Each structure stands twice: as structure tokens, then as C-alpha cells.
Structure 1
């Protein structure tokens, strides 16, 4: 199976599991709102899945070489940055910004009543901007002032702005950007020189926020505040432990009935562990690993440096986000608002993540076309005869 086909199958499989488990996590003890096969088919999550697969198919047809060439124009980078900053600023606009649990992370789309997370747009948009930047000035990235510093001045303010409301996503964007910059030619020790600044900013973000400090303390000992900051982690671990090997059965989990917060989003994997057991958790992890492996295969086969960077950024961002979520759910990291990609409920995340993997499929197709063009033998020119030789041959 081609790597692009494997990506399509893995994305579809994860989204299908996500639809089923999101609906299972949303079960309530109410006969009038029972979850049936028909209700799942017509649920909002199914609509999001169809939109996500549509976005993947459309993105897989994008001429990625043309997309990279467009970024060689400074106006393209400037326009992309303007869109990212404008979207991030909208979360604070009255009437547009939507606050949930004290965080300004959502924007209400006028006319349709739905919400979206601008940080999702920024997360993937930054990768495209860095790819464009590296395509234009890749040879200068080894230089600190001419190459690396301008890139950092573009990326880090975006990560810092997101970290004000969503520290986990801000760290994710910064980490993915660093990987792409090093792969594009930046010197690692140049980036390490900024490590103290990044650590100081991270410490300031935690120390100046009361709820982040409580989450950090609860991570060290969740039972120090079992009804407060440690509640999420304790209930998540209880759900994981209750699943055991076979699990309680699909729909038969107990933690989702008012015990486990954010069971449809950040802690959906805990519901999977409780209801589907080790087998279900292993299946999800296997699909995530297969998707990452297929993405790496596409990156390794891509011939254009800019396409390799774009593919590497997509794989790195997806992989880091999945690892961060799994660590939080299993108590290996402090609680933060990081969703499990392609599984946790969220229309914006599903659609943009699927579209990003659609670009990976497009990169795979572009590489196959290049390989076929290289392997095809050059046409043999037809023999040329002069009029004199032709006349002699006729006379003979």
C-alpha cells in the first residue's frame, strides 16, 4: 500500500472511532435522548467527520509545488501572518470572542452559530509560513541575524499570544517550529541560546497564573487537592484503571456520568480505555503510530526540500500533540487543554488536521510523478537524412 493510501485509511479510521466514542462519551441517563445508530449517523460529529474527509480529499489535490512557489512572494507571507494575527485577536472582540471555562480560545462564527479555535488555524498556518520562509531564505538560516532571527521574530510572538490562553498549544507551536527550523538549516546551538529565554517565559506563564500553579502542584500529588486541581487527573486514572483488559464495553463506561470532566475532548482517551480496554487503547495507538510512520515515509521520499519541510512540520505537530494528550490522560504530564488529534471532539481540529494530512498525500503524489518522469526513458530522436542521401537511395 502506498504511503498516501495508508494515510487516507488511518485518518478515516481515527475519525470513525472518534465519532463513535464522542457519542458514547455524551451518553446521558435519559430515555428521550438515547444514543442509537441513527442518532450517531445524524450527529454533529458525523457532519464534522464528513467535512474533515472532504477537506482531506480537496487538500490532496492541491498542486503543492505551486503552493510552495506562491510563498516565494513576500506578500504571501505577510498576508498569511495578517490572517493568523487577526484570527487570534478575534477571541477578545465582544460579540465574536467566546469564553469557555474562563479561557478566550473560541470565536463564534456569525450566521451559523458555530465556534472555531483560531489557535488551530495558527498551529497549521505557522508551518506553512515557515516552509515559505525556508524556501526563500533557506541558505541563510545558518546565519543567526540574517536567517534565524527573523524567523523567530515571526513565530515566537504567535506562540506567546496563544500561550496567554492556551499554554499547551503555544508550547506545541514553538516546539514544532524549532524542529522545522533545525531541519531547514538553522544551527541547533543558535536555538539553544534562546532556551533560557523560553524557559523564563514558560516559568512566568505558570507562576503568574493561579490555576496553572495549582495544576502543577496537583501533578506532583493529585491527592493533595482531590476535589479541586487534582480532580481531572484522579478521575482520568480511575477510568483508565477500570477498563482493564477487555474494558466495560462500548457505552457501558461509568466515569462519563458526571465524574470525568471534558470526557468528549481532552480526556476522550480515558473513556476509550474504560470502555474498550487495552485492546481498544492499543488499536488507537497503533493507528496513530501507523499514520505517523506513513507520514515519515512521505517525507523521506519527497525530493523538493520545501515539501520535505512542510511534511516534517505536519508529522511533528501531529505526533507531539498526540503524545502530549496521552501523557496528560495517563498522569505523566500536568493537565492542559490539548486534544487528541482526529479523535477528541472538535470540528476545527478535525477539519484542519485532516486537510494537513491531505497535503501530505499531495506531496506523496508529487513525488511519485517525479519518480515516474525520472524513470521514463528519454525519447530517441528520429534519424535525419539529407536530401542528397535520400536521392542516391532512390536512384539505387
Structure 2
């Protein structure tokens, strides 16, 4: 019988999950390359330097790496202690987006705060704050989680409150994202299926009402069913995305040689960066991204399943959901599977708030991976 150390007997591991770390760094590095390619022409015309967005994204990536390492090494008690502080701070930031002097209006919505010349999108951090809260709630209320007043109403009020502020910005996609987080975490948290079924019906009705009341939103919501019916208006972005993917072939046109980013495809370096990648790197490049995503999510959910502590398990599961839903929804939009909505591609799309929030999620997962059972 072989000798076992105290660490092995207790089921603890001192090392981080380097598969998760490696997949994250590859995606982030590829994201920097694609931001440079997708934004170069636009940046050169608007900012007089084709490296403008690339330099900003590199700075965001550096900040994200520091945040990831900070959370990866942070004592677990310190990470969990300010759960309500996280929540109230995010609510405060979201409310500030509704006040013109503090917020930046773009595309008809106030989703960004301007702080010292830096734009912050609080919604990206709201996803993380909601995960911390729901993980705390479901781990502490397991004996009461199947009751309506104690186990169901509080998380509904918190999630609904955050969603309502987002709808006032308006950020329809962000509110739906938080609703999906709530549903999937409640599903494993022990909430009665009856309550979840009723909440889904209520949510679907609210979504339908919001769509019907806005003619433009109604057209845009159903544009993905047949984008070529109105290719110069509501279907334009999706049609250009199809052209980009279709022209990529097996090996792609080559880095920097894509045509759709030349003012044909709107938001080429943000929400639709995968279309540019598909055109320039082809099926091989897209497959490499899918492989990295698969490795990242495999390790993330494995970390969640390996936790002994219930709060650790819910927290890891929630962080994996933030990343997984981001990947899924962005790919579904650029491939025309769901209505177009502003969902950034984790680690690949341009944007500091999204990138730092994704690194934060990975940092929490790396932290918990040091405490997983073999």
C-alpha cells in the first residue's frame, strides 16, 4: 500500500487547472489578433491609427490578466465575504447609467459609464455579481429552497430588479442573459420545477409584449428567419455575416485579407468578430476556436463537479455558465440561429468590460480548481 500525503487524503490539489488557463490564454491571444485585423481599417480612418483599438484591447487584456491572477490567488473567504457589497455596487453602477451626466449614450441606449475617460459597461460585471449572490443563496437556503416565499421570491426579486434596470437603458439582450442565468442556476439549486415553469411562462410573455410594442424590435427579432427578405435594412448585418463565413472556405482568405470588414459588416471587431475570423481563417480557424471553447468549458464544469463544498460548486457552475452562455449566444447570433442581439464573444470581441469580466470568471475557476477533488 503506497503512502499518501495529507493533501491527497483530504482530496485537495495545490496546482491550478493549466488546461483551463491555457485555453483562456489562447483565446485571448487570438482575440487580440482578430481585433487588430477587424478594426484596423476603421481605426485608421476614424482615429488616424490602425492600432487604436488593438492597443486599447491589449491594455484591457493586461488588466484582465491581473484581475484573473488576483482572484486565482485570493483567499476563498475574502472572495466570498462581500457578496452583498458586490450586488449593491453593481446596482448602483447600473442606476448611474440612467443618469445622463454619468452615462454614455450610443445606439440609442445608455449602457456605459464614463469614468476618467474610461467607458465601463456595468452589465458585464452584473453577471458575475448575480452568480456570487445566487451561489450564496442556494448554498445557504437548501432546507428552504423549495418553499415559495423564502426559496423562490428573493432571487426572483434580485434578478428581476437587475433586469428591470437593464430594460430601462434599454438592454434587452442583457436582461434575457440574466434571466437565463437565474433559470439555469435555479434548476440545479433545487427550486421547484413548478415555480420555474411559471417563471418561464411569465418571462416569455414579457418578452413577447416588449417585442410587439416596438415595431423596429419586432422586425429585427424576426429578421433572422429570413434575413435576405430585407438585406439592406434589418437583415443587413446577418447577411454580411453569412457572406463572410461563406467566403472563408477551408483555409480562409488569410489574416488581414478579409473583405467584409471593409465597412460592409457593422460591428466587425465587436459582436461579429467571429464572422471576420471565419472569413480570414476559414473552417480550420473556426474549428480551432471551437476546440479551445470545448476545452475551457470542459475544465470549467469539471471544476464545478469536483467541489465538495456546495457554495464552491454553485459558484464554479455559475462562472462556467457566464462563459458558456456568452459563447453560445454570440455564435448563435452570427450564424443566424437566434435574433441578432448585442452579445460579445468572450475573449475575442473588442471591449474592456466584457474581457475583464471573462478573465475574472476564469480567475474564480482557477481559484476553486486548487481545491477540487482528484
Over residues 187-232 of structure 1, what are the superposed CA-to-partner deviations in whole Å (9 max), with x where a residue is unaligned? 2222112222111111122112232112123222212221111101
Q: Is the 8 A contact 1:12 1:53 kept in 2?
A: no
- Between the aligned partners of 1:264 and 1:256, the Cα distance in structure 2 is 8
Q: TM-score, normalised by structure 1?
A: 0.85
Secondary structure of the structure 2 residue equivalent to 1:236: helix
The superposition leaves residues 229-263 of structure 1 with CA deviations (integer Å, 9 ceiling, x where unpaired) of 11011001001101111100000000000100000
1:107 equivalent in alignment to 2:110 = no
Alpha-carbon distance in structure 2 between the residues aligned to 1:84 and 1:205: 25
Taking a change above 3 Å as real, the CA distance of residues 328 and 133 of structure 1, as seen in their structure-2 partners, is: same
The answer to whether residue 295 in structure 2 is matched with residue 290 in structure 1 is yes
Does the C-alpha gap of structure 1 residues 155 and 3 become closer, same or farther in structure 2, counting only changes over 3 Å? same
- The one of 89, 94, 109 equivalent to 1:88 is 94
**Alignment coverage as a number of residue pairs:** 358
Match of 1:234 among 217, 236, 239: 239
CA shift, 1:33, in A, is: 5.6
Offset of residue 157 of structure 1: 2.0
Pick aligned residue for 1:248 from 226, 248, 253: 253
1:263 pairs with 2:275: no
Decide whether aligned partners of structure 1 residues 246 and 33 sit closer, same or farther in structure 2, where only a CA change above 3 A counts: farther
Q: Bigger CA drift: 116-125 or 248-257? A: 116-125
Name structure 2 gaps, 5 residues minimum: 1-12
Q: Work out which of the two has the higher radius of gyration on C-alpha atoms and give 1 or 2.
A: 1
| 2:153 alignment counterpart | 149
The CA distance in 2 between the partners of 1:274 and 1:327, in whole Å, is: 17
Task: Please identify, of 221-230 and 353-362, the stretch whose mean Cα deviation from structure 2 is larger.
Answer: 221-230
Q: Which runs of 5+ in 1 are unaligned?
A: 372-396
String of CA shifts for 1:262-290, please: whole Å, max 9, x gaps: 00100000000000000000111111111
| Kept in 2: contact 1:240–1:274 (CA 8 A) | yes
TM-score normalised to the size of structure 2? 0.90
Q: Which residue of 1 aligns with 2:67?
A: 55
Aligned to 2:124: 120
> How far off its partner does 1:67 sit?
3.3
Q: Which moved more, 1:182-191 or 1:241-250?
A: 182-191
SS in 2 for 1:140: coil
> Which residue, 56, 61, 67 being the options, matches 1:44?
56
* Matching residue within 333, 337, 344 for 1:339: 344
CA RMSD of aligned residues (A): 2.2
